[in-house]
Homo-oligomer: A and B are copies of this chain.
Amino acid sequence: MPYSGALRIALVAPPLERVPPRAYGGTERIVHELVLELDRRGHNVTLFASGDSEPPANGQLIATVGEALRPTGFGGDASPYFYSTILDVLHRADEFDLIHAHLDWPGILLAHVSPTPVINTFHGRIDFPFAGRLFEDAPRGLVAISRAQAHLCPEVPWEAVVHNGLNLADAPFERRAGEELCFVGRIAPEKGVVDAIEVARLAGRKLRIAAKIGPRPDERAYYENVFMPALKAAGSNVEFLGEVGPHDRDRLFAESAASLMPGSWPEPFGLVAIESLACGTPVIARRAGGLPEILRDGVDGFLADDSQAMAFSVGRLDRLDRQAIRASVLERFSAERMTNDYLAVYRAMLDHMGRGVEPRLAASAARDRWAAASATDGPESEARQPALRTINAPIEAAASRRPD
């Protein structure tokens, strides 16, 4: 039977940033947009996220940690918090029609053991040595955020590709922008900020850089040993603004002739690109990752393969229609469109699998054994030993040295 009514949906965010994040945090921004849209449409939304997150207007927030980890300066191994997030979700799995997890790899584990259908959106890169093992005998419900990301692991039976979407309607717009270029992102090797400086130099344009300094030691080293010397060498042609908030970022986009995304890595999607386009600002990007799916080459900007080609395309920016760029991205990458797509995935999963599913692991054995197990003492039986007693018992047993 088709599911057309309101759904009870669990949205599961990582414990790293609040929902929505105060600054960086692409995954948490997308989760926030889904919470808003699904809630607005009358679905019953439960958000599993850090306790300082924004609760759904008509739903419930389940705190997986008191406060988001990263803003508190947490830099250790976060995996125990993912384990407890999975347990939190499993404890309440019965309360939902489906679970939409945004945890990447731990979500695979959740999907294998959950009695409720699980949709897993992968937000990060997936081309890791362990990917083959974790995608083995893959559960249903795996969603990529670009075809490029999906095709890194083509053997995975992807349920769907759903491009990200944001509420972009309030982005500022300038019909006549300035001559300057901009770079928005992070000072990290894969983001290509040094290439951006080179593009600006070759094109004879000024460049303004609004970027967070990556916190990892290798990113710090890159900042000091690679970025700073390049910035210094560029002199007054390049201005480094540091990290800026959303408002200043959008002003920067709106005033720029184009934004540069020369990063040479398989960027799974590229939220910066749609933010720039929403201000009407074309994007000149490397032909890599999800960017060719966002940018219509020659319409929304230009795709190119190196700094010289990108600099060459700067001379063709005048041909582009900033208003059309803005209109198209608001249509193609809205939170509404993304939510429509996910609802289609939800309904396809439910129509196919039913609201209750057999967990792929664990449950079949449990089924066979249930009759026997339930007839004897269960784990909650009062025959369970009190803690202290239990602690000492084997020690005494060892002392009495029973033969085996």
Contacts and interface: CB of A to CB of B under 8 A. Distances in A.
A202 interface: no
Contacts of A404: 41, 339-340, 343
A307 interface: no
Contacts of A304: none
A86 interface: yes
A292 to B, nearest CB: 14
Interface in A349-387: 352-363, 365-370, 372-374, 376-379, 381, 383-385, 387
Given A133-B84, A160-B393, A365-B94, A373 B358 contact: yes
Query: Chain B CB within 10 Å — which of A77, A109, A147 has the most?
Result: A109
B365 A116 contact: yes
Contacts of A376: 353-354
A80 interface: yes
Contact of A387 (B82, B106, B154, B163): B154
A172 interface: no
B130 A362 contact: no
A114 interface: yes
A393 to B, nearest CB: 7
Interface of A: 41, 77, 79-84, 86-87, 90-91, 93-94, 105-106, 108-109, 112-116, 128, 130, 133-134, 136-137, 139-140, 144, 147, 150, 154-163, 217, 337, 339-341, 343-345, 352-363, 365-370, 372-374, 376-379, 381, 383-385, 387, 390-395, 397-398, 401-402, 404
